[in-house]
Structure 1
Amino acid sequence: MFLKERKEPVELLILRSLNNRMNLTANEQQQYSNIKKGYEGEVHFDSVITRLSSNILILNDLLLESNHSIFQIDSLLITQDLIIPCEIKNHEGNYYYQNENFYACTTNREITNPLHQLNRIETLLTHFLHKHGFKLPIKGYLHFIHPEFFLYQAPKNEKVIFYPQLNHFLKNIDRQLANLTKRHDQLANLLLDAHIKKSPISTRLPSYQYDNLKKGIHCNVCHSFQMTILNRKIICEQCGNLENTHAAVLRSVEELKLLFPNMKITVATIFDWCQFIVAKKVISKVLNKNYKISGFGQWAYYE
């Protein structure tokens, strides 16, 4: 049972928007690709663990603080007798393991050791749970979720799960007893309450300004800006996707708020942001329906 669903990281949402509205450098493109690929791997993992028939609790994307350190858990499984934090990696291609480090075969470049990340999670989570009176054992696993990932000289470490081993991992969980009690619910609620909701952006984002971004409503499928309005629908001339005009305006408002959280939202601002494709009266209707108005007359804005 998923008690906490996975959401797209703020960094990914911002970079996707910037990728549509400005020219990212090669390094920024790589950064965007890495975050996107990581999220896709986590979503794939979610789809796989839905095969579990056991009565377990699943919490995704937990951000916790323990011993003055913040740490993230990609997925946490709570079973009857075990807490299982899962570190998920979506690396693709050939790598090798040497001197307790991971390297890409093509470049011989060292990557951050995910086993060290997993060990840190286990240590901090143990401290956190003991502080709150929970003594269930913790055993974390590192999941390489991509089917085309290969690790030469792989360590004989039972905590490392490769894609072909995933079904066996799930079967082992299903074999365990699954009688959850109120104590397990209390544990899950503790973790949910302790989750840091406003995630700090850990990635350095590109520098951008409003005047330098491309304006307009883009397609929510192919991201083209070639849009036409017809009969309360907005049509993408490139892929033919249809979207309700009000929904498209609302999506554009949320995108602007994401990029510029301190900007005051007004009818004129959104009219400019949408590049005049939608009438001001339509924008006003969307804003009045979905946001709270503050101020009066020409000083009115929406929150």
Structure 2
Amino acid sequence: MIYKKRKKSDKLLMLEYLKNRIKFSQENWNEYQNQVKGYPGECHLDTLTVELTDDCLVLNDLPLAIGSTQFQIDALIITAQEIILYEVKNYGGEYIYKDGFLVSISSGNSFHSPTERINRNTSLLQSLLETLQITMPIRPFVAFVHPEFMLYDVENMQKVLVRATFPKHFRKLTAQLEPLSAKHFLLAKTLCELSAQTKPYLNGVPEYTYEECKKGIICSECERFIPGIKHKNKFYRCKICGHKERVSTIILRHVLEFKCLFPDRKLTVPTIYDWCGGLCSEKRIRSALQKEYVLIDTGRASYYV
């Protein structure tokens, strides 16, 4: 049973928004591409875990912390006997394992093996469970979801899943499931609460300020800045790609963007007017905000939550 659904991480959303509003370095762009590539891979694993019975609890996308150390869990399954941990990778191509690195056969490029990360996450989660006075074994896996991924000469094969082995892995898991008790649901609830309290894992997001961000409205389809919106039109059709979108939807989409990038700034009509480059009137912005947010009326300093 899916207990915590997956959504795009704050890190991926911020990179998606920022790439159109500030200048990215090559390192920033590479990090964005890695995030874009990784998310569909995680979603592919979700298509398999969603088929599992009610005798397990699936928690997706868990940022957690033990002390000052943060870690990110792609997917976690609580069963009656154990916790199963997944680190999801969406690499394509042929690789060999050598001295803690995965080496591409075609290019020779190498990077740290994800088994090191899953071992670290396992250790940190075990420590976190100890602080909660919970004793459960943890079984970790690195799940390589790309259909054209191949790994040779790998150590610790019991920790590695490739796409061809997924059906067998989940059939075996399903056959071993037993009814859960209240303590398992309590553990899932506790981990979700701790995750909600943990600051988003934002390593790789470039530093930015409101002032340096380019202001304006961006088409959701072609991601180009639009030149303007006619005052009385309820819909806007992009002059570049032809995409049609309701103006109120455009405004609320940019409100979500602003809230993600600047969570500590108050949400006000003048602020969103400025963020949208003055392309929508304050009257239309106010109308859109009133439909989705609550006004905290303090006179001139009024804002929405």
- Tell me the TM-score range normalised by the shorter chain: 0.7 to 0.9
Match of 2:278 in 1: 276
Deviation at 1:181, TM superposition (A): 1.7
Match of 1:293 in 2: 296
Equivalent residue letter for 2:172: N
Match of 2:181 in 1: 181
Match of 2:259 in 1: 257
Q: Distance in 2 between matches of 1:109 and 1:32?
A: 19
Q: After TM superposition, where is structure 1 displaced by more than 6 Å over at least 4 residues in a row?
A: none
Match of 2:245 in 1: 243
Q: Normalized against structure 2, the TM-score is what?
A: 0.87
Q: Normalized against structure 1, the TM-score is what?
A: 0.88
2:165 is the alignment partner of 1:165: yes
| Structure 1 portions without partners, runs of 5+ | none
Q: Distance in 1 between matches of 2:263 and 2:183?
A: 40
Deviation string, structure 1 residues 6-43 (Cα, Å, up to 9, x no partner): 22122211111121223322222111101221222111
Q: Distance in 1 between matches of 2:267 and 2:91?
A: 40
Q: Distance in 2 between matches of 1:59 and 1:135?
A: 18
The secondary structure found in structure 2 opposite 1:61 is strand
Confirm or deny: 8 A CA contact 1:228 1:237 kept in the other structure: no
Match of 2:35 in 1: 35
Confirm or deny: 8 A CA contact 1:232 1:244 kept in the other structure: yes
Confirm or deny: 8 A CA contact 1:54 1:178 kept in the other structure: no
Deviation at 1:68, TM superposition (A): 5.5
Confirm or deny: 8 A CA contact 1:96 1:153 kept in the other structure: yes
Equivalent residue letter for 2:126: T
Confirm or deny: 8 A CA contact 2:63 2:200 kept in the other structure: no
Equivalent residue letter for 2:65: E
Deviation at 1:107, TM superposition (A): 4.6
- Taking a change above 3 Å as real, the CA distance of residues 293 and 182 of structure 1, as seen in their structure-2 partners, is closer
2:103 is the alignment partner of 1:127: no
Confirm or deny: 8 A CA contact 2:10 2:202 kept in the other structure: no
Overall identity of the aligned pairs, in %: 34
Equivalent residue letter for 2:296: I
Deviation string, structure 1 residues 88-147 (Cα, Å, up to 9, x no partner): 111222322112432233553431221121122222223333443433322111101111
Q: Distance in 1 between matches of 2:130 and 2:270?
A: 54
Q: Distance in 2 between matches of 1:72 and 1:206?
A: 19
Q: Distance in 1 between matches of 2:27 and 2:70?
A: 27
Deviation at 1:197, TM superposition (A): 3.1
The secondary structure found in structure 1 opposite 2:19 is helix
